[in-house]
Amino acid sequence: MNPKYLAQLATIVELGSVTKAAQKLNTTQPTLSRTIKLIEDRVGAPVLRRGRHGVTATEIGFRLAESGREILRRSQQAETAIREWKDGQVGEIRIGVGPMLAATLMGNFFSRMVLAPPNYGIKIVCEYAARLVERLHQGQLDVAIIPYDLNRGEDQLVREKLFQDQLAVFVGGNDPLANEKNVVPQRLLHHKWISVGEISGLFDITRDTLNHLGLSDVMPTLENTGDVTMTFRILESTRSCSVLPSRILGGIQPRYNIAPVDLNVDLLARNFGLWTTSSSRDLLETIDFSHRLNIYLAEKGLK
């Protein structure tokens, strides 16, 4: 199968239109129609369904389009490598960051790297921690900044402890509990609980905290696995609470009207770490990135 045909099929499926794909690929609609005919002759079955609102992929069409997307991705990587080489960049580092850190701590750090760029390219992927671990295993990332204690049985990846954080129960800044001291956990019994376990990387973090507080009968009202700032907005406007890492939230609390509850029970600490593969651990790019990150964390008082 001609890889060019698969890449064209992927573009058609992505846009849901042969006409739009032709415009994007700077070719003609008859050319793409011939491409589809060649693919279908090879497969012996349709790869597209045509409807009132455009085209969708059949089962085999979807699978072939997936291969086409990979071809396009690798082609784009090659173009990027050429541009970086022309710009004097000698390598690149692929960095995974969890949504919680992306929304709180890492934006300012990467701003520094934009202002004082290294001589290597930087690719950033933001996904929840378990998926970033998968990407490390699959060779799609070089490093990931995620909870250190995730998957304790993991022995194929290398971890460096970056800093320790402390869990806290956060409420909206206008909640009466935000200004009280030595609050007993039972005062939270009638709050709506927002779970962000998948965002934080520790899937049972809310359930473990509820059990720890003696509130094991409470069930979270909502589970947010997307943008953590949505949880902040919910806390601001409702009588709700959520278990969040307090130290990394310290730098952004002025932007959101949320506050930790001063409970009379200590919650668990959690560690963040820099995860790498054994093959990328000793790369010059990884060493330089780790050095810059540790300096930044020390300046923020997290080391």
Are the beta carbons of 185 and 263 closer than 8 angstroms? yes
What domains lie within the chain, and their CATH numbers?
A: 3-86 (1.10.10.10), 92-162+271-299 (3.40.190.10), 165-268 (3.40.190.10)
Neighbours of 82 (CB within 10 A): 10
pLDDT at 185: 96
Q: What is the dihedral of CA 170, 265, 203, 252, to 10 degrees?
A: 30
pLDDT at 100: 84
Structure tokens at 55: 């085209």
Neighbours of 186 (CB within 10 A): 10
Ordered mean pLDDT values, 10 residues apiece, the chain (303 residues): 92 94 93 94 93 91 93 80 65 89 90 90 89 91 90 74 93 95 95 78 74 91 83 94 90 84 91 91 92 95 87
Of the candidates 88, 129, 126, the residue with the CA atom closest to the CA atom of residue 106: 126
pLDDT at 197: 67
* Dist CA 211 CA 62 (whole Å): 44
pLDDT at 147: 87
- Burial category of 2 from C-beta neighbours within 10 Å (exposed 0-12, middle 13-18, buried 19 and up): exposed
